[in-house]
Structure 1
């Protein structure tokens, strides 16, 4: 079992599959194999036999590429050891030892069916076989196959990259054994971290059916109405909760050369009267772009490119009619166009474009119920997770208003779907007795389906008010005597107001609850301290206030650590600086697999000031794998903090000792809060706060060794002059200041060293320059 799977949570449940075979080692096949290995399940990865001395070269090469991929396909490089490679020609018989077979070969029906016939001869009876196809209906895939094969066959449509894209569409046929759908749904949910949406056997399933229609409409209407690519991406972007890549940026990302293939596939499969046919025409300039190598980001560029002529670096965009490139210019939206409703009502060319594109797209989605899915929530989830929309089509219509949207469609000459008529002036989603409900095609509301064991803070909010709250945070009752504290500032950054509500929450939990979970359902757990406020205080020369804030943060975090109840931190996404430090002060961590945790203060010329240095020293010293003596923990902590290292997964955070052996990792984001609550309840019986620790300093000799290493990096050009200054203060803290190896330090003394270092550094010009640069550019300044 890999590091990703150790210790607790739904991610650590026993897998129903002891071994999985993935056939096809292209980008998708290798990615799926990597994610299954991330779940701790052995994988047999097969591909065609290669010429030369290594017949497994294709599959071996795919794993080698996956190990080097950025973003990384493996949560822990050790997971790659769970993958055994082979060839279809020589090793297909090994499928008999596998509990699930995933086919990920080229999208050709004849090749897939030929493989299925061979598989049917070697697999154990009852072993499920699934295809990752995104274009070929299940009915055609099993056509002519034995009924026993059809019973065991289904579609599992992953999205690329498989590790990071949460959506998985599962499609069963009329003969598919429901038990296979149930087992694969449970495994992909709990162990692979997927949000499983059950789709019907229709072309493109859900996300690609709507998403490709949306892109075709947006591109075609842009040419027809004479918009620039920048205008299109500005309009069909943030106002609708769609990523800033918009349409043309997204086409560059996925590959322009795929457009003709997708269009041809969809037009060949869809019924003659489907609205898709009205927008399926190819843009006139696309064939020449492809021929010239302008296939998007993987080629020389696409609708956007970077011109590096003359040693420069100029972003350019293409004219949709002439095909000529010119420097890209930012498009300006009308004043009322900051949100969907405002933009749709704008009486200018951009408003007209928005009404046509989003009118057609949202109407198309509504017209497909119940053809592609019985549940509107499934359609919304598919678009939210498959295309990264903040709101799916029906949530968007709710924001506009169903009645207003119907009027817009009539104004544009677009047929109003029956489901929109059914909604009338009602919303598609509404809360009934604190439970989210969705509107069905029959006009009745039903609870939005939730997988068993999922606990969402958004659902808790619907049912009542917080126990405590302020503009910076809130304390919620999540049942069974467990409270949940969430930060509610922008990017969940820490400031005085957060510390104040956290302090109140700790006192309230003492009297009224058994345990506390620190969690947020926001995308990022915490980006750390509010640098903007720190810069403001420094510019006002209010350094005394900064010193008070550091001392207060230390006090509150230690109150959390020594509280008379268990505390579980449940990070997901970024947990940086103070976000990492609050995690370090919890009794246990239940982290989402995609947690990016680190003490990054040195990047802005500071050091961790809220106990992070001492807590990391304690973690390293307690680990049995750390060599004995005061210096090994110091050296490792120094390197991690000085380089502002951030984990690329929760598994890597464990290797960095941020997570300890007893901490857990949850693969599915929607299950994180429930897992953290369960972990907190498991700690309640017999709980006692941790004992106050002692620190054994490495002394002057240790500090000298660290400083010499940094000086060497300065001479090599790896470190900057201010890096040396910051590292010097960090070395002072970690080696015990003026104390020598014969002494012991209390926790309060180490905190005092942190305060002294932070206060000294925040008053230096190079640190203030780093803070300002980070706030302005989002990137560290190397000074």
Structure 2
């Protein structure tokens, strides 16, 4: 079935977030909740105030629930007393009310009486088995019912666990899974009807084990998080930071719910604890970031904000200290080096991983049909870089089996089957996984999914250097991948772009298009600031100028290449990373692409054609107000304030993306969509025609300078902000030109380059660059 409309019952944090994300897919959705007691008692007249307030709250929350504020118009507030009959026409109803089976059962009976035949009803429960939820419901209801467990926040967390019952229609499961994949951007994982499903079953055990071992071994919370964090491919929050993020008060709730339904012999029962310290913290409101603080908190001391951490032995806060464990450094040599290190960090890592990975291996096929579902659930639901079975392969299945035996723990049968080989292997350019039967099967991607990581398994790059690589992704399309740290841009990237232009554009081979894409967390954070600062500090001004000119010439050559260039970004695309997108024929952006020209933060202006391209777009925009100043003012505001779009939809508003550029909701489908766009453009391709602009010159600059001076007088602009903004105003106004003279792209590039090189020699700019490299934050000087 096709889902054209939806409803969410329950306007709490999860329910409202689910409704917002359904609206992000362009689907109208009802959001219903109870009529509050005070309204029933006559102390108010808005019977839908709970849902209405949730929508208003979502418009203000950070990170934003909506990919664009206009999507809120697709969410209609209501209440379950007056508006339940309005759901008679919707295709999908999501229940997200309190985790009480009796409350859910009563609601299901009411829904079954009004919903249309064949509409899907699903629960967002994270703990209650499906068999319990449908008890006492009609056979028709059971056929249309399933569990769809979203993770918070629904817009950003990619995992959707789907649980079907024995009576659930297969076509309903397939239809909803397809919608969640292609319209909601979810990684859909089929789970069995078991307590906690996959991610929370393993994740809850991991959190408990990591906390227990930290307390038993006497680690500080900073030491524990330093070990159970990046060294294991887990977000830097580690475990205590994660609990602060999700809320300490949620832990006992989830654990007690699990304990009600877990098998009597489940290992989680033997490690479950509720420390007195945690109970006291919850009672006193120290529940994490949403409370007065948690394991970490920010406190004011001497007029400054100081990060503090709780002492697990005394329960008192102290100044937070950076962990200095040798084992954390050893982890750079691999996971085995971490767990085999003799210090307490190594012991901690070994105990945690042995327990958690052994537990995960014991749960297949109980909770999922194969190991790939488990690994995907933990990667997408807990943001682990590697799933449990991928971690086991890093340690070695034999090593883990020996470690379990040494601790007197049973070795799972599946782990025994992996002995001497591993859970994953690559054969014939394909990744294969160990099945529960003991043989290997290919990992099969859904139709429309193309991953660069899969391509790289079975091929070598066409060309590569220290910062970039070119890959053949089929059908005559080449992919340019950035490979440096944070995908920062440097001379090697520019050199390979020039190589690609010559190779694809020579007409002597089958190449017909270029896609710029990578699978890093961020598309590119811009220029390599470390290299730039090194050159500045030793006064290598000719090299700095050469770097700026090389970037300008390379991006311009990319724009006018005799073949189509399509970029496929995801994550941050900042500075030079944004500028390359501005020079492509088309962009197919992941919805979670955060674009911006942020150079003013380090005391310079965009120097690789960003000013030129934004000014050209604004000037040629047919919807803009008349006259020469509106487009200049618009671009000046965007760049001088270092505006960053918080989604691809917002990037269209800021003109970083054009109306014709595409947006892909599921990141796994991004490369395939970009490749298809490139092939379509290649059918009858011609490079764009050069554009010349007529700009006002000094009169426009004077107006912009006056506006900036006003901000200075209000305390909104620092002294160096004024200097940088004045340089930007000079470029965007066209320098010494006037409205009767055309200025071409090369003229604008020269203005950019001159202004950039003057600013980069400034001590204030150098201070900004040094501060950014040292702290990751802009300096307001």
What is residue 140 of structure 1 aligned with on the other side? 132
Structure 1: how far apart are the matches of 2:590 and 2:331? 36
The residue number in structure 2 matching 1:577 is 575
Query: Counterpart of 2:23?
Result: 37
Secondary structure at 1:358's aligned position in 2? helix
Where relative contact order (Cα < 8 A, 6+ residues apart) is larger, the structure is 1
Cα deviation code 1:150-179 (max 9, x no counterpart): 000001100000011111111101100011
Q: What aligned pairs does 1:135-174 form with structure 2 within 5 A after superposition?
A: 135-174=127-166
Could you tell me which of 276, 300, 305 is aligned with 1:284?
276
CA deviation digits over 1:90-119, x for unaligned, max 9?
A: 000011110100001010000001000000
Q: Deviations over 1:406-438 (max 9, x none)?
A: 111112222111111010111211112111111
Pairwise CA distance, 1:277: 0.6
Residue 540 of structure 1 corresponds to 538
Q: Distance in 2 between matches of 1:223 and 1:701?
A: 68
Residue among 415, 419, 425 paired with 1:420 = 415
- Provide the C-alpha distance between the structure 1 equivalents of 2:635 and 2:710, rounded to a whole number of angstroms: 19
Deviation per residue, 1:290-332 (Å, 9 max, x gap)? 1122112211222222333554433332232332332222222
**SS class of match (2:122):** strand
Q: Does 1:20 align with 2:6?
A: yes
**Cα distance between partner residues in 1 of 2:694 and 2:245:** 52
Unaligned runs of 5+ in 1: 1-14
Cα deviation for residue 665 of structure 1 reads 0.3
Give distance in 2, aligned partners of 1:309 and 1:529.
Answer: 37
My pick for the range that moved more, 125-134 or 507-516, is 507-516
2:199 aligns with one of 182, 203, 207: 207
Of residues 104, 111, 114 in structure 2, which corresponds to 1:119?
111
Deviation digits for residues 435-492 of structure 1 (CA, Å, limit 9, x no counterpart) = 1111111111111231111000001101111111111111111111111111111111
**Which residue is 1:735 aligned to?**
733
Deviations 1:584-605 (A, max 9, x none): 0001110000000011111111
Q: Corresponding residue for 1:105?
A: 97
C-alpha change, 1:493 and 1:221, in structure 2 (3 Å) is closer
Instruction: Select the residue among 598, 606, 609 that pairs with 2:607.
Output: 609
Give the deviation of 1:280 after TM superposition: 1.4
* 1:700 aligned partner: 698
Q: CA deviation at 1:755?
A: 1.0
Whether 1:233 aligns to 2:225 is yes
Note if contact 1:494-1:578 (Cα within 8 Å) is conserved in structure 2.
Answer: yes
Aligned to 2:470: 475
Q: Does 1:461 pair with 2:461?
A: no
> What is the aligned counterpart of 1:347 among 342, 350, 362?
342
Q: Distance in 1 between matches of 2:651 and 2:193?
A: 41
**Is 1:393 paired with 2:388?**
yes
Residues 356 and 412, structure 1, Cα contact 8 Å, conserved in 2: no
- Structure 2 counterpart of 1:658, from 656, 661, 672: 656
Partners in 2 of 1:537 and 1:321 — Cα distance? 49
Please name the residue that 2:369 is paired with: 374
**Inter-partner Cα distance in structure 2 for 1:641 and 1:696:** 20
Q: Which residue of 2 aligns with 1:408?
A: 403
Query: 1:669 and 2:676 equivalent?
Result: no
CA distance in 1, matches of 2:60, 2:404: 49
Query: Contact (CA 8 Å) 1:135, 1:266: kept in 2 or not?
Result: yes
The Cα offsets for residues 602-660 of structure 1, whole Å up to 9 and x where unpaired, read as: 11111111111111111112222211222111110000011111110000000001111
- CA shift in 2, pair 1:769/1:224, >3 Å: closer
Q: Match of 2:617?
A: 619
Deviations 1:319-372 (A, max 9, x none): 323323322222222243444211211223332222222111000000000001
Native 8 Å contact 2:464 2:470 kept in 1: yes
Task: Report the Cα offset of residue 247 of structure 1.
Answer: 1.3
Give the TM-score normalised by structure 2: 0.97
Runs of 4+ in 1 over 6 A off after TM superposition: none
SS in 1 for 2:81: helix
Deviation string, structure 1 residues 39-81 (Cα, Å, up to 9, x no partner): 1111111111131111111001000000000001111100000
Q: 1:505 to 1:315 in 2, by over 3 A?
A: same
- Who is 1:61 aligned against? 53
Give the one of 685, 688, 711 matched to 2:686. 688
Instruction: Tell me how large the CA RMSD over aligned residues is.
Output: 1.3
Which secondary structure state, in structure 1, belongs to the residue aligned with residue 466 of structure 2? Answer: coil
Map 1:198-347 → 2, pairs under 5 A: 198-308=190-300, 311-335=303-327, 336-338=330-332, 339-347=334-342
Q: Residue 518 of structure 1 aligns to a residue in which SS?
A: strand
Q: Is the 8 A contact 2:325 2:343 kept in 1?
A: no
SS of 1:89's partner is coil
What is the rounded CA distance, in whole Å, between the counterparts of 1:506 and 1:211 in structure 2? 47
Matched, 1:441 2:427: no
Contact 1:602 1:644 in 2 (8 A): yes
Conserved? CA contact 2:143–2:168, under 8 Å: yes
Contact 1:267-1:280 within 8 A present in 2 as well: no
Shift of 1:227: 2.5
Give the Cα–Cα distance (whole angstroms) in 1 for the partners of residues 762 and 280 of structure 2: 56
User: Does the CA contact (< 8 Å) of 1:619 and 1:658 recur in 2?
Assistant: no
Question: Which moves more between the two structures, 115-124 or 342-351?
Answer: 342-351
SS of residue matched to 1:737: coil
User: Take 1:290 and 1:404, find their aligned partners in 2: how far apart are those partners?
Assistant: 39
Partners in 2 of 1:694 and 1:637 — Cα distance? 17
Query: C-alpha distance in 2, partners of 1:459/1:710?
Result: 50
* Range with greater deviation from structure 2 (493-502 or 213-222): 213-222
Q: Does 1:365 align with 2:351?
A: no
User: What are the residue-to-residue correspondences of 1:508-527 with 2, within 5 Å?
Assistant: 508-510=503-505, 511=507, 512=509, 513-527=511-525
2 CA distance for matches of 1:572 and 1:311? 39
* Alpha-carbon distance, 1:782 to partner: 1.0
Question: Whole-Å Cα distance in 2 between the matches of residues 519 and 238 of structure 1?
Answer: 25
Which secondary structure does the structure 1 equivalent of 2:287 belong to? coil
Which is worse superposed, 409-418 or 108-117?
409-418
Give the structure 2 partner of residue 529 of structure 1.
527
Q: Which sits farther off after the overlay, 62-71 or 700-709?
A: 700-709
Match of residue 12 from structure 1: none
* SS at structure 1 position matched to 2:755: helix
C-alpha displacement of 1:220? 2.1
Matched, 1:83 2:81: no
Q: CA deviation at 1:393?
A: 0.4
Please state if 1:49 is matched with 2:59.
Answer: no
The worse-fitting range, judged by mean Cα deviation, of 470-479 and 303-312 is 303-312
User: Aligned with 2:778: secondary structure?
Assistant: coil
Give, in whole Å, the separation in 1 of the partners of 2:145 and 2:526: 48
CA offset digits 1:257-286 (Å, max 9, x no partner)? 122111211111011111111011211322
Aligned-residue offset at 1:228: 2.3
- The answer to whether residue 122 in structure 2 is matched with residue 130 in structure 1 is yes
Counterpart secondary structure, 2:326: coil
Task: Give unpaired runs (5+ residues) of structure 2.
Answer: none
Are 1:59 and 1:86, in contact at CA under 8 Å, matched by a contact in 2?
yes
For the residues of structure 2 that align with 1:102 and 1:431, how far apart are their CA atoms? 40
CA deviation profile, 1:533-587 (whole Å, cap 9, x unmatched): 1111111111111111111111111111001111111111111111111100001
